[in-house]
């Protein structure tokens, strides 16, 4: 398994470390995902990324009963758990390297490519699964693939994505895509281009609800200045970029999770902003807006729960060419 490339592997009792000159990733089997993503000494994860099934409901969702029809996806968004882990090194599947299996590895294992797949099972009725595969190549390139397995009898999905919670608030973000806030059925007014957004703005609706979506995105770069590391006094800006892999994606960058928005019935009930919640979406249900008293979203903007959905994206260094 040893070779001369620059991916260094560390097989822990419940973790797999993958590192190189400017990066360090830690995949945790017990936590069910990527536990640490460090680039140039800066940590980008506060929580393990998890599959997303819910976007906060809107007045239109409530008016047409979608919140009730698809309520089990809110539970899935909160309580889906990892049920299987698979590891492949240089294209070869290996036994899950936990103790005592990991004892056969040295402390200087290297590889050209590592792929680790976490399978999550939803608490829905019926249950289904989502596979999230992280593939790391020499140099630290990280590709993330999400595959949702549809199951007959499941209600329509509000969204399908991956939530990345960062330790501190971002100073803002830049992206290439459509201007302003856009949704699958609200894209006509968006103009393609490159845009900068200061801070993490939340639309000040009287009742907090879904906001901040950006469709048809080629890349987004998040800029932070602070970490939670008390030994790191350097407050200079540092960045992380997510780039499309095959097809554009949708994203939102907010200081709140959908559950936090859902729980507040007025703006003052929202918690103090402390984190950056970057969500990368492969699919999103439309928001409607024909009226707020019963009209459903147009059929082409529904998101079926009984069919498969897949998407991919790349996490690249902040100074990489996008």
pLDDT tens digits, one per residue of 185-217: 999 999 999 999 999 999 999 999 999 999 999
More confident residue, 94 or 294: 94
The torsion angles phi and psi of 129, rounded to 5 degrees, stand at -130, 155
For residue 250, what are the CA distances in angstroms to 95, 182, 297?
35, 9, 19
pLDDT band of residue 228 (cuts 50, 70, 90) is very high
Mean pLDDT of the region 274-288: 97
More confident residue, 257 or 230: 257
Closest CA to 217 of 182, 167, 269: 182
Gap between the Cα atoms of 249 and 251, Å rounded: 7
Task: State the pLDDT at residue 322.
Answer: 54
Gap between the Cα atoms of 123 and 107, Å rounded: 39
Closest CA to 283 of 298, 303, 297, 299: 303
Mean pLDDT of the region 264-279: 96
Gap between the Cα atoms of 191 and 244, Å rounded: 18
pLDDT above 50 (res 304): yes
pLDDT above 60 (res 22): yes
Closest CA to 176 of 139, 135, 142, 218: 218
Write out the two tokens for 316: 């690249």
CA dihedral 153, 159, 160, 166 (to 10 degrees): -140
Mean pLDDT of the region 127-155: 97
Gap between the Cα atoms of 131 and 147, Å rounded: 5
Task: State the pLDDT at residue 235.
Answer: 76
pLDDT band of residue 310 (cuts 50, 70, 90) is very high
pLDDT band of residue 318 (cuts 50, 70, 90) is low
Task: State the pLDDT at residue 4.
Answer: 44
Write out the two tokens for 292: 């707020």
Which residues lie below 8 Å from residue 226, measured CB to CB, with a gap of 6+?
Answer: 168, 169, 235
SS3 assignment, position 311: strand
Pairing verdict, β 219-224 and 249-254: unpaired
Gap between the Cα atoms of 14 and 253, Å rounded: 31
Mean pLDDT of the region 230-249: 91
**DSSP type of residue 318:** T
> Which of 198-202, 237-241, 261-265, 286-290 is the least confident region?
286-290
Residue that the structure tokens 């294209």 belong to: 91
Mean pLDDT of the region 2-29: 89
Task: State the pLDDT at residue 5.
Answer: 61
Which residues lie below 8 Å from residue 300, measured CB to CB, with a gap of 6+?
Answer: none
Write out the two tokens for 62: 């409530």
SS3 assignment, position 160: strand
Gap between the Cα atoms of 128 and 97, Å rounded: 26
Q: In the chain, pLDDT over 90 holds for what percent of residues?
A: 90
- Burial of 245 (C-beta count, 10 Å sphere; 0-12/13-18/19+): middle
pLDDT above 70 (res 183): yes
pLDDT above 90 (res 127): yes
Gap between the Cα atoms of 35 and 48, Å rounded: 5
State the DSSP H helix or E strand holding residue 19, giving kind and residue range, or none if neither: strand 15-19
Polymer length of the chain: 322
Taking all residues of the chain, what is their mean pLDDT, rounded to a whole number? 94
Model pTM? 0.95
């Amino acid at each position: 398994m040893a070779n001369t490339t620059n991916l260094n592997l560390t097989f822990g009792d419940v973790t797999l470390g993958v590192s190189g000159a400017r990066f360090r990733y830690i995949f945790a089997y017990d936590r069910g995902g990527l536990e640490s993503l460090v680039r140039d000494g800066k940590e980008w994860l506060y929580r393990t990324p998890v599959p997303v099934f819910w976007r906060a409901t809107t007045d239109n969702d409530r008016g047409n009963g979608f919140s009730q029809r698809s309520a089990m996806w809110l539970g899935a968004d909160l309580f889906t758990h990892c049920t299987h882990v698979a590891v492949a090194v240089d294209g070869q599947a290996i036994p899950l390297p936990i103790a005592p299996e990991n004892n056969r590895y040295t402390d200087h294992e290297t590889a050209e490519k590592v792929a680790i797949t976490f399978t999550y099972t939803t608490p829905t009725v019926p249950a289904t699964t989502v596979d999230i595969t992280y593939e790391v190549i020499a140099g630290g390139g990280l590709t993330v693939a999400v595959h949702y397995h549809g199951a007959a009898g499941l209600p329509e999905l509000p969204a399908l994505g991956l939530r990345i919670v960062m330790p501190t608030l971002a100073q803002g973000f830049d992206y290439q895509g459509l201007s302003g806030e856009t949704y699958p059925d609200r894209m006509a007014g968006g103009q393609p281009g490159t845009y900068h957004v200061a801070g993490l703005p939340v639309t000040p609706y009287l009742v907090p609800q879904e906001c901040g979506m950006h469709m048809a995105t080629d890349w987004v770069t998040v800029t932070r200045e602070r970490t939670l590391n008390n030994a790191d006094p350097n407050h200079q800006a540092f960045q992380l970029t997510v780039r499309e892999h095959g097809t554009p994606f949708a994203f939102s960058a907010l200081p709140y999770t959908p559950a936090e928005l859902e729980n507040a019935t007025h703006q003052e009930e929202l918690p103090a902003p402390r984190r950056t919640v970057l969500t990368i979406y492969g699919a999103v249900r439309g928001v409607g807006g024909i009226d707020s008293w019963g009209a459903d979203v147009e059929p082409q903007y529904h998101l079926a729960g009984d069919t498969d959905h897949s998407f991919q994206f790349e996490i690249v260094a902040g100074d990489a060419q996008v």
